[in-house]
Structure 1
Amino acid sequence: MTDHFYIGHAADLKENQAREFEITVDDSQMAGFVMRFEGVIYAYLNLCPHLRVPLNWKPDTFMSLEGTHIECSVHGALFNPDDGLCISGPCRGQSLTRLNIETDNKGDVYLVRHQQR
């Protein structure tokens, strides 16, 4: 069985832009963000693997000033947008938790969760 949770519309994401979202899954809140990088849409949990805190301190602000990396606002760790790997900072070598997403033919983006039977 597969559950789909609406996140937003792909056309609303500009290149190197991220938008945070919060959804309820099994009565638990999940905070994440979706972003477009080099034309591809990615989604991650909004949680630094080092301090287990949200990455952003301002709404929808996840990218470094140069727009090349995801940046933790707490300690400045830098993550690759395409795989979530930390390349600089105290969590070097760790990764953000990538979320499984799909885009339908109308451009709507969904978080996809596969349930085991």
Structure 2
Amino acid sequence: MADQERLSQGLTGVGKRLTEVNESLGEASEGAAEASARLICAGGELLEGGDGVRFEIEWNGEAAPAFAIRHRGRVYGYLNRCAHIAMELDWKLGKFFDADAEYLICSTHGALYAPESGACRGGPCRGAALVGLNVFEADGKVYMRRT
């Protein structure tokens, strides 16, 4: 019986140590991800279906407008450029969603885009899509990965 108890305690100790190692690796990988990414905003600035946060990125060697939004609990980022005609989408700074907060809408021609993919869902953008950006949320902040 004593051998079984020692074995059980040993396995419990190994399990605890594995948990500590996994937590440590998780923290290290989050830190590495943040180090190779650009801070966009605090996560709390992006409300579900609310205003987006505008920012600039370098795109094809030039400064280009971009934005981040929250939809169904996830953050997404896109170039702020309609796929139909290269114009900014928001009709008022940060206003990217339609009235029902279901689609992203181009204020100029009414093109509708799926927030989770940027794919055209209606209007003159047929078959086109917004240019997606690699954004993610970690520790209450929204980042864009550098490519």
* Residues in 1 aligned to 2:107 and 2:135: alpha-carbon distance in whole angstroms: 25
* Residues in 1 aligned to 2:124 and 2:60: alpha-carbon distance in whole angstroms: 32
**Secondary structure of the residue that 1:11 maps to in structure 2?**
helix
Asked if the contact 1:5/1:23 (under 8 Å) is kept, the reply is: no
**Equivalent position of 2:40 in the other structure:** 7
**Equivalent position of 2:136 in the other structure:** 102
Q: TM-score normalised to the size of structure 1?
A: 0.86
Match of 2:93 among 59, 62, 68: 59
**1:56 deviation in Å?**
1.2
Deviation string 1:94-117 (CA, Å, 9 cap, x unpaired) is 10000001322x212111122xxx
Identity score, percent: 36
Q: 1:24 to 1:70 in 2, by over 3 A?
A: same
- Count matched residues: 112
The structure that is helix-richer by fraction is: 2
**1:92 deviation in Å?**
1.5
| Aligned AA (1:57) | W
Structure 2: runs of 5 or more not aligned: 1-34
Identify which of structures 1 and 2 has the higher relative contact order when contacts are C-alpha pairs closer than 8 Å and 6+ apart.
Answer: 1
Asked if the contact 2:45/2:53 (under 8 Å) is kept, the reply is: no
Greater shift, 20-29 or 69-78, is seen at: 20-29
**Equivalent position of 2:49 in the other structure:** 16
Q: 1:3 to 1:30 in 2, by over 3 A?
A: farther
Q: 1:27 to 1:77 in 2, by over 3 A?
A: closer
| Aligned AA (1:42) | Y
**Equivalent position of 2:122 in the other structure:** 88
Asked if the contact 2:75/2:136 (under 8 Å) is kept, the reply is: no
**Secondary structure of the residue that 1:57 maps to in structure 2?**
coil
| Aligned AA (2:66) | G
Structure 1: runs of 5 or more not aligned: none
